[in-house]
Amino acid sequence: MVSAVNTNKTDKESIERYRRREFLPYRYNQLWRIESGMVRTVTWGLDGQVFVLGLWSTGDIIGQYLSGTEECQLECLSSVVVCRLPFSYHCHRGELLSYLRRTKKLLQISQMRSVSDRLNHFLGYFAQQFGIETSDGFLLTIHLTHQDIADVTNSSRVTITRLMGKLHQQGRIGWRREKRKRFLIVRSSVVQTLTHRSMLTTG
């Protein structure tokens, strides 16, 4: 069920709400601004394999044509509130550069040889991009299933479940329970190590 409410800015903008696992309507020239929640850009191979082209959250501008292909969709990974932008809206240079950098980062992660490396680097990226820094590490309030992570890291759900268990035993990730919900915590040391490696690689 989609609900739309006109904003005060212009009658060409509207606020719309979508449930988890729903897709934003397919309009190639349409841009959306995420007000809350998380959306992923996905496409599919000939064998039906899912390829994740991007992960986006509050404040991000998204749309099919930003991905450079019509063969993709925007799937909600949580309850999502988006603002439908007018067709006259043009992305700023900074928005485009941020979109390209983040798409490139996920591509680089998916191309790493080791599944373990792909998982570690993805968790570090996700924590930095979307986590809340606390004394325990980076708190991730947006829930990703093991299948969601497997899709990003070009792996299987079974493998990700096994590796996540190993990371927990090593103390590299943890969990926090709040109001009957369980949130993932990526330890700060993990993020710092991966950031240092990235600087050495690009430096």
On the question of pLDDT at 111 being above 50, the answer is: yes
Residues 6+ apart with CB under 8 A from 93: none
Instruction: Name the token pair of 57.
Output: 């959250």
**Rounded CA gap, 27 and 119, in Å?**
33
Short-list 39, 33, 100, CA closest to 72: 39
Average pLDDT score over residue span 31-38: 96
* Paired residues of 32 in beta bridges: 62, 84
Distances (CA, A) of 97 to 66, 94, 105, 121: 11, 5, 12, 21
For the chain, give the percent of residues with pLDDT over 90: 62
Whole-number mean pLDDT of the chain? 86
Instruction: Indicate the pLDDT class of residue 94, thresholds 50, 70 and 90.
Output: confident
Cα four-point dihedral sign 157, 109, 200, 95: negative
pLDDT of residue 200: 35
pLDDT of residue 168: 95
For the chain, give the percent of residues with pLDDT over 70: 89
Average pLDDT score over residue span 150-158: 95
Average pLDDT score over residue span 59-77: 87
Q: Tell me the one-letter amino acid at 161.
A: T
